[in-house]
Amino acid sequence: MLTPPDERPPVLVARDLVKEYARGRAVDGVSLTVRAGERLGLLGPNGAGKTTTLLMSLGAVEPDAGSVEILGHRLPGDRARAMQGVGFVAGYLPLPDRVRVSEYLRLYADLYGLRDPHAAVSEALERFGIGHLAAAIGTQLSSGQRTLVGIAKAALHRPRLMILDEPTASLDPDIALRVRTALLALSAERGTALLVTSHDMTEVERLCGRVVFLHGGRIAADGTPEDVARTFGRDDLEGVFLHLAAERDKDRERERAATA
């Protein structure tokens, strides 16, 4: 019998995160808990604070206020141990030039400290059906193949949490489906929690059991896709997204008018 979601142990706990850049406040008091095996979509229009929240969760950006704990390890002091349980994929990041896929995976297997990196790489190539790409150089791969290699890399060490920033951006629907299926299988088989950002609301509805909408750096909604859509009086997440994007544009107009 599955444990009810709210009783599963947290893998990521972010409390009251604040981040201010020169252009303004990107994240303004975001608190987020991701539990083991949970598939959470972090959504919002451009400038809502999604990527900054993800980067703070990875320890790549230091919050101005608030804290992040991953598997009980607090960032930034315990970052190395925390990252042992995290895999990161970004659809927009290329693979390094002049390195073969197998060499790239081997590099990360060593960075994760795996005792048998060769076996881990072979398993990852097989699991994601990319064994035929082992000898290819990163620049020879299509977007979809690069994404699959990126997911294979992030899953090498069987992380408890995978953080995915736009994992299927600019992919053909069939390749996006393959990526989504691989992620769902990973979550189901290993209990890996997924924290995903995406601009494709249909994809999020298929992939995530819970969504958090950010608006102006704050949490605007948190719940199942159906509940969130209902809260905003919309049919689906796309309707919520469009509503919040329109709100963002109105906010910007008001700011411009105030400073004019």
Partner 1 sequence: MSMSDPTGSSITTVPPDTEGPALRSPAAASAHRVRAVARRHWLVLKRSPHRFFDVLVWPLVDTLLYGSIGLFAAQAAGDSPSATTAVAVYLLSGTVLWHLVHQTQISLATGFLEETWSRNVLGLLATPMRDWEYLAGVGLFALVRTAASTVAVAALAFAAYAFDVTRLGLGLIPVAALLLASGWAVALLVVGLVLRYGSGAEALVWGALSVVMPLSGVFYPITTLPTVLQPVAQVLPTTHVFAVGRTLASGKPMPWGEFALAAGGTAVLTLLSLLALRRMLRTFRRKGLVTRYS
In the block, residue with structure tokens 């927009």: 92
> Among 5, 16, 24, 62, which residue sits at the site for partner 1 (rule: CB under 8 A)?
62
52 binds partner 1 (CB under 8 A): yes
Residue 227 binds partner 1, judged by CB under 8 A: no
> What long-range pairs does 239-246 form, CB within 8 A, spacing at least 24?
240/201, 240/213, 241/43, 241/44, 241/45, 241/199, 241/201, 241/213, 244/44, 244/45, 244/48, 244/213, 244/215, 244/220, 245/45
Place of tokens 């996006």: 176
The candidate with the shortest Cα–Cα distance to 168, out of 187, 150, 189, 190, is 150
Question: Which of 12, 13, 17, 19 touches partner 1 by CB under 8 A?
Answer: 19
What is the H or E stretch that residue 74 is in? strand 73-74
Could you say whether residue 120 binds partner 1 (CB under 8 A)? yes
Q: Report in angstroms how near the CB of residue 17 gets to partner 1 at its nearest.
A: 12
Q: Which is nearer to partner 1, 122 or 260 (CB)?
A: 122
> Binding residues for partner 1, per CB under 8 A?
19, 21, 26, 36-37, 51-52, 55, 58-62, 76, 80-81, 83-88, 90, 92-94, 96-99, 103, 106-108, 110-116, 120, 137, 153, 157-158, 163, 177, 180-181, 184-185, 188-191, 205-207
